[in-house]
Structure formats: structure tokens, C-alpha cells
Amino acid sequence: MQVNISGHHIDVTEAIDGYVKSKFEKLTHHNDLITSINVFLTVEKLVQKAEASIHVSGKDIFADAQSEDLYTAIDALTDKLDRQLIKHKEKLKSHR
């Protein structure tokens, strides 16, 4: 699994990088077919945004979240992606 983290108007420090990677490693528990993850962090005045796209078995899953705190936005983002991955996995099982 390859994780790419980039930022707009923000420096991606080692602390942020480690936090993001630890959160996204938990997503592999639901689906181990994840090939790549692209995370994009932005700062706009008082709003911190986190966006991510995941490439899973031929499909791209996208989610975004925003909050006043960057770490809260990352938590909300991983929760959304977790729900989407579970739903995608259930669809794959039901069609076979």
C-alpha cells in the first residue's frame, strides 16, 4: 500500500505524516486490496480540510472532511472512508 501525502498552504511535518499513516493503516483491516492512497491537506483561514482518494480493486473511492482542527478532519476522513470500504466490500460479496 502506497500512501502519498501532500499539502496546500501547510507543511506536512513528520508528526502529521505519522498520524495520517497510522490512521490509514487501520483501513487495511477491512480491505487488503488497497493499492494506493492519495491524501491532500489544505488550510483556508479557519477551516482545515482533508481529502483522500483510495484505489481499491479497480475502483476509486473519494472522501473529504473539514474541521477547525486538522487532526479532527483527518479522523472524520478516515471514518468516512472506513464506511465506504465496508460498503464496497459488501457489494463485492453480494454480487458473486
The per-residue pLDDT for range 60-85, each reduced to its tens digit, is 999 999 999 999 999 999 999 999 98
Q: How many CB atoms lie within 10 A of CB 95?
A: 6
Q: Given the C-alpha cell 479522523, which residue does it identify?
A: 75
Domain extent at residue 10:
2-95
pTM over 0.75: yes
Tens digit of each residue's pLDDT (9 = 90 or more) over 17-49: 999 999 988 888 877 788 899 999 999 988 999
CATH number at residue 16: 3.30.160.100
Domain count, the chain: 1
- Report the pLDDT value the prediction gives residue 74, as an integer from 0 to 100: 95
Query: For residues 24, 25, 27 and 33, what is the CA-based torsion angle, rounded to 10 degrees?
Result: 110
Do 74 and 42 form a contact (C-beta atoms < 8 A)? no
Q: How far apart are the first and last CA of the chain?
A: 25
